[in-house]
Amino acid sequence: MTNTIFPIPAPALADIEGSEQKFPVYRIFCVGRNYHAHAAEMGVAVDKSKEEPFYFTKHPDTLIPSGSEIQYPPQTANYHHEMEFVVAIGKAGFEVSEDKAEELIFGYAAGLDMTRRDLQLKARETRRPWDLGKDFEESSVLAPIVPVAKTGIVNSGKIELAVNGETRQSSDIERLIWNVREIIAHLSKFYHLQPGDLIYTGTPDGVGAVVPGDRITGSIEGIGNVELKIAN
């Protein structure tokens, strides 16, 4: 056994629907502004004919399972929910064509890209990285991954989120500006995608703040549900 000065951190593991086996998470990529209505509410229009998708990353240790109860995070007064369709990569690929992109998919999950919006916007205004707004403890919520063998390739379906039972986000994943094929092909130009990579594909419009005591429930048609409770 390797002699380390402190215990090696436990790997991030995601649940797989209907399986005892776990999905070891290698990296978490997130797509920014991937629904027009959300880009508009953030005050930045997207012109697909002139732009490429962009990404930020979250460390795998930000991952927590659906159903968790967490403390309201530090250093924010505007903690936002972002409901997202998550793609789990099961095969390596580099410079993958759109035609072959779906072969890399292991499965899909419902997820939340929880965001300290005040810190993200402050970073955006000052042209600094978004890490403090995005890449923080317990900020990546993930439901069990549903293998593509069960769902088939998914490119449409309702995506919804409610806070305390009141609907806040309601859209369809067919409204993604860059769809899953396009994202995998594009992202794989910049990274050698690996089994264990997760891609949070972006949130639809309706993002908003949650406060202590709130319960978030989200769903993606044909994929599953995700839940998060903010402790009092």
Nearest to 12 by CA among 73, 47, 59: 59
Q: Which amino acid is at 124?
A: R
Nearest to 141 by CA among 110, 168, 164: 110
Pairing of strands 146-147, 140-142: unpaired
Q: How many residues bind Mn ion (CB under 5 A)?
A: 3
CB of 199 to Mn ion, least distance (A): 11
Looking at beta carbons only, is 120 or 147 nearer to Mn ion?
Answer: 120
Distance CA 91, CA 194 (A): 6
Q: Which of 25, 29, 34, 82 binds Mn ion (CB under 5 A)?
A: 82
CB of 134 to Mn ion, least distance (A): 8
* Amino acid sitting at position 232: N
What residues numbered 97-116 form the site for Mn ion, per CB under 5 A?
Answer: 113
- Give me the least distance between CB of 82 and Mn ion, in Å please: 4
CB-wise, 30 or 147, nearer to Mn ion?
Answer: 30
Name the minimum Å distance from CB 202 to Mn ion.
Answer: 6
Distance of CA 188 to the CA centre of its chain: 17
Q: Mark 172-211 with x for binding to Mn ion (rule: CB under 5 A) and - for no binding.
A: -------------------------------x--------
Q: Is 135 in the site for Mn ion (CB under 5 A)?
A: no
Report how far residue 70's alpha carbon sits from residue 140's, in angstroms, rounded to the nearest whole number: 12
Q: For residues 27 and 59, what is the distance between their CA atoms, to the nearest angstrom?
A: 7
- Closest residue to Mn ion, Cβ-based? 113
Q: Which residues does 25 contact at the CB level (< 8 Å), separation at least 6?
A: 11, 12, 13, 14, 60, 63, 196, 197, 198
Using the minimum distance from each CB to Mn ion, give the nearer residue, 134 or 181. Answer: 134
Identity of the residue, 147 or 204, whose beta carbon is nearer to Mn ion in the bound complex: 204
How far apart (Å, rounded) are the C-alpha atoms in residues 209 and 127?
Answer: 23
Select the span of 33-41, 78-86, 156-164, 181-189 touching Mn ion (CB under 5 A). 78-86
Nearer CB in complex with Mn ion: 100/131: 131
Contact 185, 97 (CB under 8 A): yes
Phi, psi of 175 (to 5 degrees): -90, 5
Closer residue to Mn ion, CB minimum distance, 38 or 147: 38
Q: Which stretch binds Mn ion (CB under 5 A): 17-25, 38-46, 69-77, 82-90?
A: 82-90
Q: Give CA–CA dist 213/164, Å, rounded.
A: 9
Question: Which residues contact Mn ion by CB under 5 A?
Answer: 82, 113, 203
